[in-house]
């Protein structure tokens, strides 16, 4: 079955996958960029960029979670086994919203749900079951094992990256832009205001400029 499918399978990959509406690149680090794949969460104009496993895999390749070789292997695997790929995609979305809950609740000083912690631990222990120490020369290195053709590999890589972020000092540098996207403020005096100064920064600056101008007009007219 695999052989005939392989003959018919032609991976088509362009970058970015959708040039008309590419994945948001704001976020500075992959874990935050992952969370930002859901735009306007809960709003009327919300948009989820990860609508299936293929979207997720494409995103993972564009944001260097998996290289092109792994992308092609997993893409073929998902093509052959959509009934396996779909549950992985569903777990991916749940993991994304779990990490979102950790960050958003912390920023808003809200209680994190116990269920979210349980779910995160579930995916984390799955990932840990595929990690072990290996000898590299005479030094020990943590390496992935038994991951070939495992559709959940990108999910495990992300949960490990999220674990590092949750425990690092960087976690306190996470900010939420007025547009809803998360970013990392690593400036010395914590003065960064926008996820993307060229988009959100310019929009706010031009609005503030218009407001100042209007105020001036009102003051001049009021003074006459
Ligand atoms: Zn923004």
Q: How far apart are CA 54 and CA 58, in angstroms?
A: 6
CA 135 to ligand 1 center in whole angstroms: 44
- 104-115: buried (b, 16+ CB within 10 Å) or exposed (e) per residue? beeeeeeeeeee
How many A from CA of 179 to the centre of ligand 1?
4
**What pLDDT does residue 102 have?**
97
CA of 182 to the centre of ligand 1 (A): 8
Cβ neighbourhood burial of 39 (10 Å; 0-12, 13-18, 19+):
middle
pLDDT in tens, 37-67: 999 988 888 999 999 999 999 999 999 999 9
| Mean pLDDT, residues 190-197 | 89
Contact between residue 28 and residue 192 where contact means Cβ atoms under 8 Å apart = no
Task: Report residue 80 as tokens.
Answer: 């052959």
Long-range contacts of 188-196 (CB under 8 A, 24+ apart): 195/26, 195/27, 195/36, 196/26
31-35, 44-48, 60-64, 141-145: which has the minimum mean pLDDT?
44-48
pLDDT confidence of 224, banded at 50, 70, 90? low
Distance 51 CA to ligand 1 centre (A): 22
Interval between CA 94 and ligand 1 midpoint (Å): 23
% of the chain surpassing 70 pLDDT: 86
What is the reported pLDDT for 1?
41
For residues 23-50, give the mean pLDDT: 93
Rounded to the nearest angstrom, the distance between the alpha carbon of 33 and the centre of ligand 1 is: 12
Q: State in words which class domain 2-189 has.
A: mainly alpha
| Ligand 1 midpoint to CA 180 (Å) | 6
Q: Which phi and psi (to 5°) does residue 70 adopt? A: -65, -35
pLDDT in tens, 105-137: 999 999 999 999 999 999 999 999 999 999 999
Q: Say how many Å lie between the CA of residue 96 and the centre of ligand 1.
A: 19
**DSSP single-letter state for residue 23:** P
CA of 40 to the centre of ligand 1 (A): 11
Helix (H) or strand (E) segment spanning residue 38: strand 38-39
Q: What is the mean pLDDT of residues 194-205?
A: 80
């Amino acid at each position: 079955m695999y052989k005939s499918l392989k003959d018919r399978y032609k991976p088509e990959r362009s970058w970015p996958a959708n040039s008309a509406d590419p994945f948001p690149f704001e976020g500075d680090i992959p874990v935050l960029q992952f969370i930002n794949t859901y735009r306007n969460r809960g709003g009327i104009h919300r948009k989820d960029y990860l609508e299936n496993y293929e979207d997720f895999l494409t995103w993972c390749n564009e944001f260097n979670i998996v290289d092109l070789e792994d992308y092609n292997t997993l893409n073929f695997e998902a093509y052959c086994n959509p009934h396996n790929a779909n549950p992985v995609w569903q777990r991916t979305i749940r993991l994304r919203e779990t990490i979102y809950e950790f960050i958003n609740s912390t920023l808003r000083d809200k209680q994190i749900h116990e269920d979210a912690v349980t779910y995160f631990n579930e995916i984390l222990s799955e990932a840990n079951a595929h990690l072990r120490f290996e000898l590299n020369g005479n030094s020990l290195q943590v390496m992935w094992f038994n991951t070939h053709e495992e559709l959940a590999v990108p999910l495990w890589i992300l949960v490990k990256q999220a674990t590092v972020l949750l425990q690092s000092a960087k976690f306190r540098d996470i900010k939420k832009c007025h547009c809803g996207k998360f970013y990392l403020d690593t400036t010395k005096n914590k003065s960064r205001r926008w996820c993307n100064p060229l988009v959100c920064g310019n929009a706010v600056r031009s609005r503030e400029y218009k407001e100042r101008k209007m105020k001036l007009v009102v003051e001049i007219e009021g003074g006459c």
